């Protein structure tokens, strides 16, 4: 008999593949505006499934909470005063905001911290190397998203393009969160995190290619 946890993980992986592939096909060939507007739903489902599948370690939920709070506070400082990431504003696509920052942005910081940390711990035992890989994975995803974020009504920087300050800020915040994750040696079992990160890369790569060729 297959263990219950394995069943749950497989079902969760199937769900995120279904939602991401539906989103890709919908944006490419269907009603792109509707599928883009479903981003909050997709991100919320990803987060709930992450909580269900990756919560074995006693420091998991405190780290998730820290990721959320760190993300929200740093983003509020950015939106309100231009600190850390530069001068930018959020659009309406990501849902309910607090002081100009969508709550889902805090969720996304927590989610990215966990899934990239989980992947990084598969490569090295050395904590420093794990932190570096985790930070690199977070920055790589941001590099994919930034060019299309204004088109998706996620956020827009003053001047239209993300400044160097944004990537420096991302590196600093990601470094802090990855250091906490690996300091507490939060072990994430299974492949859910890997699959979710892969799907994020595929999703935003497809959108980026479409935008640079025929437009979204």
| pLDDT above 70 as % of the chain | 96
192-209: pLDDT as tens digits: 999 999 999 999 998 898
Categorize the per-residue pLDDT at 1 as very low, low, confident or very high, splitting at 50, 70 and 90: very low
Beta strands in 50-113 (DSSP E): 88-90, 97-98, 101-102
pLDDT tens digits, 48-72: 999 998 878 889 999 999 999 999 9
Determine the average pLDDT of the residues in 22-36: 82
Span 84-94, average pLDDT = 94
* Residue 95: pLDDT over 70: yes
Q: How confident is the model at residue 6 (pLDDT cuts 50, 70, 90)?
A: low
CB 84 within 8 A of CB 76: no
Mean pLDDT of the chain: 91
Question: 27 versus 79: which is more confidently predicted?
Answer: 79
Q: 140-167 as b/e, with b when 16 or more CB fall inside 10 Å?
A: ebbebbbebbbebbbbbbeeeebeebbb
Confidence (pLDDT) at 2: 46
- Locate 150 and state its tokens: 């204004």
Residue 212 has pLDDT above 50, yes or no: yes
């Amino acid at each position: 008999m297959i263990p219950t946890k394995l069943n749950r993980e497989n079902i969760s992986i199937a769900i995120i593949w279904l939602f991401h592939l539906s989103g890709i096909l919908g944006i490419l060939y269907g009603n792109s505006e509707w599928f883009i507007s479903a981003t909050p739903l997709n991100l919320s489902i990803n987060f709930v499934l992450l909580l269900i599948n990756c919560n074995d370690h006693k420091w998991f939920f405190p780290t998730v909470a820290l990721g959320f709070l760190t993300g929200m506070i740093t983003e509020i400082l950015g939106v309100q005063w231009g600190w850390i990431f530069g001068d930018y504003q959020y659009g309406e696509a990501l849902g309910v905001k607090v002081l100009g920052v969508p709550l889902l942005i805090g969720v996304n910081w927590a989610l990215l911290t966990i899934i990239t940390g989980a992947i990084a711990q598969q490569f090295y035992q050395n904590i420093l190397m794990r932190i570096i890989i985790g930070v690199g994975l977070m920055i790589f995803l941001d590099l994919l998203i930034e060019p299309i974020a204004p088109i998706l009504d996620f956020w827009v920087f003053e001047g239209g393009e993300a400044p160097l300050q944004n990537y420096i800020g991302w590196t600093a915040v990601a470094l802090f969160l990855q250091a906490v994750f690996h300091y507490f040696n939060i072990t994430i079992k299974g492949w859910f995190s890997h699959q979710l990160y892969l799907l994020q890369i595929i999703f935003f790569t497809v959108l980026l290619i479409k935008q640079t060729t025929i437009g979204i």
